[in-house]
Amino acid sequence: MNYMTKKLKNALLYFTVLFCAVSLVSASGKKEAAKTSVESLYEYELDNGLKLFVAENDSAPLAYIEVAVRCGAIAQTPETAGLFHLYEHMMFEGDSRYPSSADMDKAVRDMGALGQNAQTGINGVRYFFTVPSALLEKGLEFWSYAIREPLLSEQGLDSQKKVVIAEIEGNFPDPARIYSYNLFRTMFPKYPWRTDPSGSSQLVQNATSDDLRIMLKKYYVPNNAAVFVGGDVRHENVYELVKKIYGSWERADDPWSEERERQLSDPLTETTFRVMPSDAISAEQAVISVYFRGPDAGYDEDFIEIASFFDELMDDPSGFYKQTLLGMSELEISDADHIGEGASFYRENGLIMFKAVVNSPQKDLAERAALFASTVTDKIIPQILNKKDIFTKEQFAQVKRTMKDYGYLTAETAEDLLRQVEYWWENASAEFFFKKAPKIKKSDIDKYLNTYISKKCPLVTVQLNTAVYAEQKNSFAAAGFKEFTQDSAYWWKDYEGLIKEGKK
């Protein structure tokens, strides 16, 4: 049985996608769906390289349609950061079939589409909505025109620049944004723009239609895209429609064929301490996090599998990791649910995080944060490495059962399942689904820890209430903590001179 696992770093949410595919061609020459180990999930590939994933679920007469493209922040340079986000907005300003945003809006209303939206992320851009299943063909046609033949007019560009700039500047003071941007800038100092889908207001203001057409030609090509359809549909019919509508889309050069320089594997030369005061944090608790560079899904496939397994081991409330921390009364952690560990799997920006929510933040919080970090690096990790039987056979067996069943059993809708599949298509490759479940051994865990955590320099952060921080500001400074601030969050501030001159 095959599996895939993703852990979402912030929510510590686990899910697994089971997938095993073999491409088939019938005796008549008609292409058939690849077989998968998930009931009612099918995969195709058109001759032009376009991937198609179909999840059948007839619980409601609806069809979810998504088109995803591998681009976004990962494809940016210091001169183009934010332009993929701007391009996403321009997709709704008119195309060859619906020449204005009003025409596109009317087409969406006429279909009774639900949840029409688009998202630009670190590793991909997604366009999606849900339509009545009887209008599947119209829905597929709508996105085909938008994806393949956008007008990218100057009038539309001027309009959307204002919208995008308002979004960027409106998010400047957001505490979550300030924290995450500081985090990425610290852990990925070589190419911080590859983690920033928003970019800067000035870069967006400088953008031209020609800039966007270059992106269209390079990235919006079938062999760099995938279509996801789910709901009250039949996979054979979906394939025929997609072939009819998207089959003429011409294959182009692979935009990812050139070798790329990767982010630094060891970005820090010493343990680094940062503190983030915020009114969004309760005065009764604080969050301590310890970050390491982790495996990158686009390169370190074997370690991704081991990391997933290790994450599950660490999530055991009665396991060594959580029980060690709960046994330290000075940390003041309420229960096992307030302790976490997880790897976030991105194509080039992997992270590993150890986390605890602690009580009584008014009491020696800087020292307790340092203690939490040193317990992880100097006690927990070394003991895992040095003790062969620290994990029982039953713990290993339980993790295997969890990873085998969790994803497709918790995917309540076809859309849920396709979102999981899309994540891995975007961050790794379809082949990642096809691998058989690895037989993880203790030696694999040791190799993973030695590669990414043992003797590495982590980033230690504390998030706490602003008023609580004011009372302990001096003690944090004395302990070597520096603040995460709005001024330190945004990498492009170092490039503002070139950006204002419009140098590209």
Which of 99, 87, 294, 105 lies closest to 204 in space, CA to CA? 87
Q: What is the dihedral of CA 68, 22, 399, 418, to 10 degrees?
A: 20
- Which stretch of 19-33, 280-294, 477-491 has the lowest confidence by average pLDDT? 19-33
279 and 383 housed in the same domain: yes
290 and 411 housed in the same domain: yes
**Is the model's pLDDT at 17 over the cut of 50?**
no
pLDDT tier at 403, thresholds 50, 70, 90:
confident
242 and 350 housed in the same domain: no
**Is the model's pLDDT at 152 over the cut of 60?**
yes
Which of 74, 52, 75 lies closest to 222 in space, CA to CA? 52
- Which stretch of 303-312, 412-421, 475-484 has the lowest confidence by average pLDDT? 412-421
325 and 412 housed in the same domain: yes
**Is the model's pLDDT at 501 over the cut of 60?**
no
pLDDT tier at 15, thresholds 50, 70, 90:
very low
Strand 5-8 vs strand 285-293: parallel, antiparallel, or unpaired? unpaired
Structure tokens that stand for 252 in this block:
């182009």
Task: Work out how many domains the chain is built from and give that number.
Answer: 2
Asked, for residue 324, whether it belongs to a domain, the answer is: yes
| pLDDT tens-digit series, residues 28-68 | 456 777 766 678 899 999 999 999 999 999 999 999 999 99
313 and 439 housed in the same domain: yes
According to the model, what pLDDT value does residue 38 have? Answer: 75
245 and 354 housed in the same domain: no
Asked, for residue 469, whether it belongs to a domain, the answer is: no
282 and 329 housed in the same domain: yes
* Amino acid at position 31, single letter: K
Q: What H or E segment, with its residue span, contains residue 407?
A: helix 393-410
Asked, for residue 3, whether it belongs to a domain, the answer is: no
For 73, 88, 154, 295, the CA distances from 119, given in Å and listed in that order, are: 12, 8, 22, 25
229 and 109 housed in the same domain: yes
245 and 307 housed in the same domain: no
| φ/ψ of residue 442, rounded to 5 | -60, -35
Distance CA 56, CA 40 (A): 5
What is the rounded average pLDDT of the residues 480-490?
96
According to the model, what pLDDT value does residue 12 have? Answer: 30
Q: Which residues contact 380 (CB under 8 A, 6 or more apart)?
A: 320, 321, 324
Asked, for residue 151, whether it belongs to a domain, the answer is: no
| φ/ψ of residue 477, rounded to 5 | -60, -40
Asked, for residue 417, whether it belongs to a domain, the answer is: yes
For 67, 216, 235, the CA distances from 145, given in Å and listed in that order, are: 12, 13, 22
Asked, for residue 179, whether it belongs to a domain, the answer is: no
| pLDDT tens-digit series, residues 328-360 | 999 999 999 999 999 999 999 999 999 999 999
CATH of the domain at 111: 3.30.830.10
According to the model, what pLDDT value does residue 429 have? Answer: 75
Asked, for residue 277, whether it belongs to a domain, the answer is: yes
Q: What H or E segment, with its residue span, contains residue 219?
A: helix 209-219
139 and 230 housed in the same domain: yes
According to the model, what pLDDT value does residue 150 have? Answer: 98
Domain that holds residue 395: 272-464
458 and 324 housed in the same domain: yes
- The burial of 109, by beta-carbon neighbours within 10 Å (0-12 exposed, 13-18 middle, 19 or more buried), is given as exposed
234 and 287 housed in the same domain: no
Q: pTM value?
A: 0.91
Asked, for residue 286, whether it belongs to a domain, the answer is: yes
Q: Which residues contact 40 (CB under 8 A, 6 or more apart)?
A: 55, 56, 57
Q: What percent of the chain has pLDDT over 90?
A: 82
According to the model, what pLDDT value does residue 433 have? Answer: 55
